[in-house]
Amino acid sequence: MVTNLASRLVSRWDLEETAVKAKAFSYFRAATIDQALDAHARAGDDARFIAGGQSLVPALSLRLQAPRLLIDITHIGELRGVGREGGYLRIGALTRHCEMLSEPLIAEFAPLLHAAAPFVAHPAIRNRGTFGGSVALADPASEFPAMTLALDAEIEIAGPSGCRRVKADDFFIDLFETALQPGELITAVYVPLFKADQRFAFDELARRRGDYALVGCGMLGTFTGEHIDDIRISFFSVGNTPTRVRGAERALIGARLDAERIAAAQGALEGDLAPPESDEVPPAMRLHLARVLLGRLLGRLGEGA
Amino acid sequence: MSGFGEAHLEDADETVRVRFVVNDRKVACEVAPRETLVDCLRNELELTGTHAGCEMGACGACLVQIDGRAVHSCLMLAVQADGARINTIEGLTENGAIADLQAEFHRRNALQCGFCTPGMLINAHELLSQMAQPSREQIRDALSGNYCRCTGYEAIVDAIDTVAKARSAGGTT
């Protein structure tokens, strides 16, 4: 993942100018959430939490980040585990990407995340990277942050002033900027349980499997027969943050899913998305790819995907 | 480890003692907190079969097994691995776990310069432990994070495919 993150943030020229070894820092392995929060505060917030480290370690090596203290949270039991809680599936922040593939509760109650997981980086990255870490980093090209939007998930955050839950809709603010305040960490993500009258679809367009998507999309719809009662559609790799396409959603809600509605939703994308200028993928091309992908995924939803 | 003390902030330039089990042997060494696992394996433990390539998780040359799973040793600090069981290409070679893969890579010329080979073998080993009969498509997908700059992918996929079939047939290659 970061691989690409690093190469996107650092031009080739800068890379040649930059050391590939991290600046010196201290390391502390926390056993509890309280210990981790306390350490962060006592380092004057010049600290970073490290979980899977698949984005943070290269950022340290490239000296894009140079904290005084690294706080290892991977041995905190409270951040582990996947289980049902009321109408939600609680996914502990330390759940690894590979567990998103292997954990039966996720396949059953959050199948959209299960479907997205194989697209996250490469197998060895998935063995270490964590779900909470991916959401906290909020890379706009990542699969999982965008899927929390489609799922109407809630993000549980612990910090110096206590614990709070933030809706995914309110979590992603700008490029790599979230509702997380300094010294706060994600403890879990709550996903509403998948229901019998719901359908989901996920796919992305990339040059090679494991690369960052040129455009990616996931959706969750609630149906009565072929009538769409509600639908949430989220794109990634389309701008500074993962993005819900509310115009396209409005074009579909309350209607029968047919070719005419799909075309209307595709037409609405132009108002929903404003892809950034890029030499590699010009805005018009990205918008075109988003329309193509939306059409494909709605088609699959119509087939009961 | 107990709670955080201010003394922790003073040890950035100090080394800390870490212990792991590397290739079934207990090892302790002194590392700086910023030292990556690949540097520790190569420089402190002189296990130079693990290759440091891109050092940012793109090329896959540095793959090792941590607690049985393939992991980039350039994307992990040595201090994070404290207490872990690590297998490097040397260990998997000694215990014979990948002997058939190595023989088939050799037979099919599935290596040219050989720089990517340790990572390829560790990834292939993990794939075949999870999936007895992967398709060529699945093999390619599993190797998507391993670069071979000699571009010898076809022979590498051939070798893994052959070993998968031989293992499933209960024979050896």
Q: Beta strands of B43-145 (E only): which ranges?
A: 63-66, 69-72, 85-87
Q: What is the pLDDT of residue B3?
A: 75
Q: What is the largest CA-CA distance in chain B?
A: 60
Q: What is the pLDDT of residue A19?
A: 54
Q: What is the pLDDT of residue B51?
A: 98
CB contact at 8 A, B54 and B74 = yes
The DSSP output letter for A291 is H
Domain end (from A133, A168, A192): A192
Domain end (from A127, A159, A192): A192
What is the CATH number for A178? Answer: 3.30.465.10
Q: What is the pLDDT of residue A17?
A: 47
Locate the domains of chain B by residue range. 6-92, 98-168
Q: Average pLDDT for residues A245-249, to the nearest whole number? A: 98
Alpha carbon of residue B127 to chain centroid: 13
A265-270: list long-range contacts, CB under 8 Å, 24+ apart. A265/A233, A265/A294, A265/A298, A266/A291, A266/A294, A266/A295, A269/A245, A269/A294
Q: Which strands make up the sheet holding B25-31, listed edge to edge?
A: B25-31, B16-22, B85-87, B63-66, B69-72
Q: Is the predicted pLDDT of residue B151 greater than 80, yes or no?
A: yes
**Residues A72-85, buried b or exposed e (16+ Cβ, 10 A)?**
bbbbbebbbebeee
Q: Average pLDDT for residues B136-145, to the nearest whole number? A: 94
Domain B6-92 has CATH 3.40.190.10: no
Supply angle C-alpha A212, A172, A188, rounded to 5. 90
Helix (H, G, I), strand (E, B) or coil at A253: coil
Q: What is the pLDDT of residue A20?
A: 64
B36 and A2 within 8 Å at the Cβ level: the answer is: no
The tokens for A301 are: 């939803």
From chain A, the residues in CB contact with B4 under 8 A are 28, 30, 35, 38-39, 42
Q: What is the pLDDT of residue A209?
A: 74
From chain A, the residues in CB contact with B3 under 8 A are 35, 38
Whether A94 and A155 map to the same domain: the answer is yes
Whether A89 and A65 map to the same domain: the answer is no
CB contact at 8 A, B82 and B18 = yes
Residue A184 CB-half CA count within 13 A: 20
The DSSP output letter for A5 is H
Give the C-alpha separation, B60 to B161, whole Å.
Answer: 20
Q: What is the largest CA-CA distance in chain A?
A: 60
Q: Is the predicted pLDDT of residue A219 greater than 50, yes or no?
A: yes
The tokens for B74 are: 């350039």
Q: Which residue in B16, B54, B60 is closest to A124 by CB distance?
A: B60
Report yes or no: B149 at the A interface, CB cutoff 8 Å.
no
Q: Chain B closest CA to A181's CA: distance in Å?
A: 21
User: Which residue out of A128, A130, A139, A208 would a mutagenesis test of the B interface target, given it has the greatest number of B Cβ atoms within 10 Å?
Assistant: A128
Q: Average pLDDT for residues A132-156, to the nearest whole number? A: 98
Q: Is the predicted pLDDT of residue A2 greater than 60, yes or no?
A: no
Per-window interface: A 64-83 vs B, CB < 8 A: 68-70, 72, 74
**Residues B18-47, buried b or exposed e (16+ Cβ, 10 A)?**
bebebbeeebebebbbbbbbbbbbbebbeb
Q: What is the pLDDT of residue A1?
A: 41
pLDDT in tens, B52-88: 999 999 999 999 999 999 999 999 999 999 999 999 9
User: Which residue out of B17, B37, B72 would a mutagenesis test of the A interface target, given it has the greatest number of A Cβ atoms within 10 Å?
Assistant: B72
Q: Which residue in A38, A42, A125 is closest to B145 by CB distance?
A: A125
Which residues fall within 8 angstroms of residue B52, CB to CB, at 6 or more apart? Answer: B38, B39, B42, B61, B62, B74
Domain end (from A152, A177, A192): A192
Give the C-alpha separation, A168 to A154, whole Å.
Answer: 6
Q: How far is CA A223 from CA A108, A159, A234, A301, in A?
A: 18, 39, 18, 10
Q: Average pLDDT for residues A14-36, to the nearest whole number? A: 82
Q: Which residue in A1, A25, A122 is closest to B144 by CB distance?
A: A122
Q: What is the pLDDT of residue A305?
A: 67
B69 and A39 within 8 Å at the Cβ level: the answer is: no
Q: Chain A closest CA to B3's CA: distance in Å?
A: 6
Helix (H, G, I), strand (E, B) or coil at B34: coil
Whether A64 and A95 map to the same domain: the answer is no
Encoded amino acid at A102, one letter: S
Domain that holds residue A57: 2-71
B56 and A27 within 8 Å at the Cβ level: the answer is: no
Whether A90 and A42 map to the same domain: the answer is no
Q: Which fold is adopted by the domain B98-168?
A: DNA polymerase; domain 1 (1.10.150)
A125 and B72 within 8 Å at the Cβ level: the answer is: yes
Which residues fall within 8 angstroms of residue A57, CB to CB, at 6 or more apart? Answer: A2, A22, A50, B36, B57, B74, B75, B76, B77
Give the C-alpha separation, A26 to A47, whole Å.
Answer: 9
What is the ipTM, given to two decimal places? 0.93
User: What backbone phi and psi angles, to 5 degrees, belong to A103?
Assistant: -80, 120
Q: What is the pLDDT of residue A145?
A: 98
CB contact at 8 A, B171 and B143 = no
Tally the domains of chain A: 3
Tell me the pLDDT band of A97, cut-offs 50, 70 and 90. very high
Whether A57 and A108 map to the same domain: the answer is no
Whether A165 and A205 map to the same domain: the answer is no
B57 and A30 within 8 Å at the Cβ level: the answer is: no
Q: Regarding beta strands A172-174 and A177-178, do their DSSP bridges make them parallel or antiparallel, or are they unpaired?
A: antiparallel
Tell me the pLDDT band of B6, cut-offs 50, 70 and 90. confident
Encoded amino acid at B154, one letter: E
Q: Chain A closest CA to B58's CA: distance in Å?
A: 5
Whether A96 and A52 map to the same domain: the answer is no
Q: What is the pLDDT of residue A13?
A: 41
Q: Chain B closest CA to A51's CA: distance in Å?
A: 10
Q: Which residue in B16, B57, B77 is closest to A54 by CB distance?
A: B57
Comparing C-alpha atoms, which of A37, A23, A279, A22 is closest to residue A157?
A37
Whether A211 and A293 map to the same domain: the answer is yes
From chain B, the residues in CB contact with A70 under 8 A are 33, 77
User: What backbone phi and psi angles, to 5 degrees, belong to A219?
Assistant: -145, 155
Give the C-alpha separation, B103 to B128, whole Å.
Answer: 16
Q: Is the predicted pLDDT of residue B172 greater than 80, yes or no?
A: no
From chain B, the residues in CB contact with A23 under 8 A are 34
Q: Average pLDDT for residues B149-162, to the nearest whole number? A: 96
Whether A226 and A245 map to the same domain: the answer is yes
Whether A106 and A204 map to the same domain: the answer is no
CB contact at 8 A, B102 and A102 = no
What is the average pLDDT value for chain A, to the nearest integer?
A: 93
Give the C-alpha separation, B152 to B171, whole Å.
Answer: 26
User: What backbone phi and psi angles, to 5 degrees, belong to A18?
Assistant: -105, 145
CB count in 10 Å sphere of residue B5 = 11
Q: What is the pLDDT of residue A14?
A: 47
pLDDT in tens, A256-289: 999 999 999 999 999 999 999 988 899 999 999 9
Give the C-alpha separation, B78 to B47, whole Å.
Answer: 14
